Every structure is written in C-alpha cells, then in structure tokens.
Structure 1
C-alpha cells in the first residue's frame, strides 16, 4: 500500500481550516443579540425547607 505525500494534504487541511474559521468568526462577530440584557432583580422568593423522609 503506497504512502501518500503529506505535504499537499497538510496545505489543503490548513486552507480549509482557515476558511472555515474566518467564516465562522465573521458570522459570530456580526451576530446581534435579539433581546437587550435585563437587570436581575434582587428580590428572591422565600424557600421552603427540604422535606426529609425521616422527619
């Protein structure tokens, strides 16, 4: 079974990886959030104690 020369395959892999990375980065940077962030309220609901079965 003959061995393939890795040199062209490495360049193909590198070029493909670069193209995919730049397109995904470009998509990510240009995406907009659909909703504006809202502030979290400090009021919390009172919590009930855990109902342990042996109590």
Structure 2
C-alpha cells in the first residue's frame, strides 16, 4: 500500500512546514494592522424601562 509509505510525503510535509514557519510566517506577522485599537471609553446611555399599557 503506497499510502503507508512515508518516505516521499514526510519530507515534503516537513519542508513545507519549515518554509511556512521560518520564511512566510515572520513576513506575515510584520505587517501592521490598519485599524489600531483605540482606548477611547464608550459613553453609556441611560435607558428607561418600557411601560406596557396592559400591565
């Protein structure tokens, strides 16, 4: 059964993970986000309870 032979596929998987981990991932993580989170406090609105006419 050739599916159980890890000889060619293990090297391909290991190489692709190393390329992703060492080359692609640092380049992706170096990008800055366009919308930086702000520390502005949100204003709370005062709500009034709804008065139901049938109660």
Query: Moved runs in structure 1, 4+ residues, more than 2 A?
Result: 47-52
Aligned mates of 1:24, 1:48 — CA distance in 2: 50
- Structure 2, unpaired ranges of 5+: none
Matched, 1:27 2:28: yes
Residues 39 and 7 of structure 1: CA distance in aligned 2, closer, same or farther (over 3 Å): same
Kindly tell me the number of residue pairs found equivalent between the two proteins.
51
Q: TM-score, normalised by structure 2?
A: 0.54
* TM-align CA RMSD: 2.9
Q: TM-score, normalised by structure 1?
A: 0.54
- Structure 1, unpaired ranges of 5+: none
